[in-house]
């Protein structure tokens, strides 16, 4: 068993896997047009230190987000947050665009650096965040995207781009909530705060009482709110977040299974292996082998 002294260098060796702060790999802001037949597809699962929003005007193909494959449908919007593993295989007929932006670009040194957590489609750890719109909704929304594209091509004024980005996100939020995707909106603010705290503490704190007390609610109430939004209890939500991060780390061979277990707070490697097999149905090594093989095809 590694000592706490030995664990510290390990935590420092995998800083990128936190994805909670920007790094030199972050993209400040970018607009990419996805024309029919354009070669954006990435044939290996990967993840970024910035946000991506995909706007599909024409569908075709599949998009795998955190190991869940979803179809690319016409008039749909897909959201990818820092740290999420994804793989896109577009059909030749698909068209659309992508917005990429970093936290630093969005906040622009603002002291209020938590607003992105209030958008329910970002930082999702229980389901792929996809918004399906009607043609009328998408057409209205697409006019905003066209303005972003024009500003990107013409001036690249960061203040103007930030204003358009803010409008895009709030429009997405309005459409997302109107679609009924988040479930019962009662208590959504408390749930979003809970979700943010899980992202910060899930490696060290897995007891529901820790989150309930920090939010000044009872465990029963927090469970009700969590189930209304995700269908999961608080304990199940935290467990799934740990399992998801384990899968994200296992999709490449940068670190051993033992190192990943320690990084996620399992001081006993055998306990991590039992946890992973119990909740995923396969061993960590078998999961990694499958991910590496699929990434090489």
Mean pLDDT, rounded, of the chain: 82
Domain boundaries, the chain: 24-178, 185-296
Confidence of residue 113 (pLDDT cuts 50, 70, 90): low
**Cα separation values, 1 from 59, 165, 243, 281, Å:** 50, 48, 21, 26
Provide the percentage of residues in the chain whose pLDDT is more than 90.
38
Residue 251 pLDDT more than 70?
yes
Identify the CATH assignment for 24-178 out of 3.40.50.880, 2.60.120.280, 3.40.50.10860, 3.40.50.2300.
Answer: 2.60.120.280
Residue 97 pLDDT more than 50?
yes
Q: What is the pTM of this model?
A: 0.75
Taking only the tens place, the pLDDT of each residue in 38-87 is 556 566 778 888 999 999 999 999 999 888 899 999 999 999 998 888 88
Contact 63, 72 (CB under 8 A): yes
Better pLDDT: 111 or 195: 195
**HSE of 198, CA atoms in CB hemisphere, 13 A:** 29
Question: Which range, of 99-103, 164-168, 289-293, averages the lowest pLDDT?
Answer: 289-293
Dist CA 174 CA 293 (whole Å): 40
Q: Kindly state the helix (H) or strand (E) to which residue 64 belongs, with its residue range.
A: strand 61-65
Taking only the tens place, the pLDDT of each residue in 17-31 is 455 566 666 678 999
Provide the percentage of residues in the chain whose pLDDT is more than 70.
80
β-bridge partners, 168: none
Angle formed by the axes of helices 219-230 and 234-250, to 10°? Answer: 60
Better pLDDT: 41 or 179: 179
Residue 292 pLDDT more than 60?
no
**Mean predicted confidence (pLDDT) in 194-214:** 92
Q: Does domain 185-296 have CATH number 1.10.10.60?
A: yes
CB atoms within 10 A of CB 157: 12
Residue with tokens 């295989």: 89
Taking only the tens place, the pLDDT of each residue in 136-176 is 999 888 888 888 888 888 767 888 999 999 999 999 988 88
Confidence of residue 181 (pLDDT cuts 50, 70, 90): low
């Amino acid at each position: 068993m590694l000592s706490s002294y030995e664990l510290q260098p390990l935590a420092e060796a995998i800083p990128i896997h936190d994805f909670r702060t920007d790094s030199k790999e972050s993209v400040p802001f970018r607009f990419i047009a996805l024309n029919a037949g354009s070669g954006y597809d990435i044939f290996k699962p990967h993840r970024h230190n910035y946000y991506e929003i995909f706007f599909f005007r024409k569908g075709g193909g599949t998009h795998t987000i955190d190991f869940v494959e979803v179809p690319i449908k016409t008039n749909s919007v897909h959201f990818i947050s820092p740290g999420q593993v994804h793989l896109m295989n577009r059909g030749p007929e698909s068209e659309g665009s992508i917005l990429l932006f970093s936290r630093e670009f969005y906040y622009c040194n603002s002291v209020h650096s938590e607003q992105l957590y209030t958008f329910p489609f970002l930082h999702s750890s229980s389901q792929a965040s996809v918004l399906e719109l009607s043609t009328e909704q998408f057409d209205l929304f697409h006019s905003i995207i066209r303005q972003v594209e024009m500003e990107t091509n013409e001036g690249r004024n960061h203040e103007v781009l930030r204003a358009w980005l803010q409008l895009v996100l709030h429009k997405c939020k309005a459409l997302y909530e109107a679609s009924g995707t988040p479930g019962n909106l009662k208590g959504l603010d408390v749930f979003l705060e809970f979700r943010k705290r899980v992202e910060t503490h899930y490696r060290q704190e897995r007891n529901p009482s820790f989150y309930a007390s920090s939010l000044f609610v009872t465990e029963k109430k927090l469970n009700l709110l969590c189930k209304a939004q995700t269908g999961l209890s608080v304990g199940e939500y935290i467990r799934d977040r740990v399992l998801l991060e384990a899968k994200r780390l296992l999709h490449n061979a940068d670190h051993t299974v033992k190192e990943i277990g320690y990084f996620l707070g399992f001081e006993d490697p055998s306990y991590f292996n039992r946890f992973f097999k119990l909740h995923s149905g396969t061993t960590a090594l078998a999961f990694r082998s499958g991910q590496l093989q699929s990434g090489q095809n």
